[in-house]
Amino acid sequence: MQTRHIADVPVSAIGLGGMPMSIEGRPDRQRSIATIHAALDAGVTLVDTADAYHLHADEVGHNEELIAEALRTWSGDASSVLVATKGGHLRPGDGTWTVNGRPEYLKQAAQESARRLGVEAIGLYQFHRPDPDVPYEESVGALVDLLDAGTIRLAGISNANPDQIRLAQDVLGGRLASVQNQYSPAFRSSQPELDLCAELGIAFLPWSPLGGIAKAADLGDTFAPFAQVAQAHGVSPQQVALAWELAQADVVVPIPGASRPASIQDSVLAADLQLTREELDRLDAAV
Q: Which of 53, 125, 136, 183 is catalytic?
A: 53
* H/E run at residue 243: helix 237-246
Cβ(33)–Cβ(69) below 8 Å: yes
Query: Does the pLDDT value for residue 180 go beyond 90?
Result: yes
User: 3-class DSSP state for residue 78?
Assistant: helix
Confidence of residue 147 (pLDDT cuts 50, 70, 90): very high
pLDDT at 183: 97
Confidence of residue 286 (pLDDT cuts 50, 70, 90): confident
Query: Pick from 43, 50, 5: which is nearest to 23 by CA?
Result: 50
Query: Pick from 243, 232, 255: which is nearest to 280 by CA?
Result: 243
125 as an active site residue: the answer is no
Residue 47's DSSP bridge partners are 16, 83
63 backbone φψ class: left, alpha, beta (φ>0; ψ -120 to 50): alpha
In whole numbers, what is the pLDDT of the chain averaged over residues?
96
pLDDT digits (tens, 9 = 90+) for 86-142: 999 998 888 889 999 999 999 999 999 999 999 999 999 999 999 999 999 999 999
pLDDT at 96: 87
Q: What are φ and ψ of residue 84, in 5° steps?
A: -105, 125
Q: Where are the alpha helices (DSSP H) in 74-207?
A: 103-117, 136-149, 162-171, 191-200
Query: Does the pLDDT value for residue 80 go beyond 90?
Result: yes
> Helices 277-285 and 224-233 meet at what angle, rounded to 10?
160
Residue type, 121: A
Confidence of residue 39 (pLDDT cuts 50, 70, 90): very high
Does this model's pTM top 0.85? yes
Task: Give residues with Cβ within 8 angstroms of 12, minimum separation 6.
Answer: 1, 2, 3, 4, 43, 44, 45, 46, 253, 268, 271
Q: How many residues does the chain have?
A: 287
Cα-based angle 82, 86, 88 (whole degrees, multiple of 5): 170
Question: Per residue in 116-134, is it b (16+ CB within 10 Å) or e — as a string?
Answer: bbebebbbbbbbbbbbeeb
Query: Does the pLDDT value for residue 287 go beyond 80?
Result: no
* H/E run at residue 178: strand 176-180
Query: Does the pLDDT value for residue 234 go beyond 90?
Result: yes
pLDDT at 155: 98
Query: Does the pLDDT value for residue 192 go beyond 90?
Result: yes
pLDDT digits (tens, 9 = 90+) for 124-134: 999 999 999 99
Confidence of residue 67 (pLDDT cuts 50, 70, 90): very high
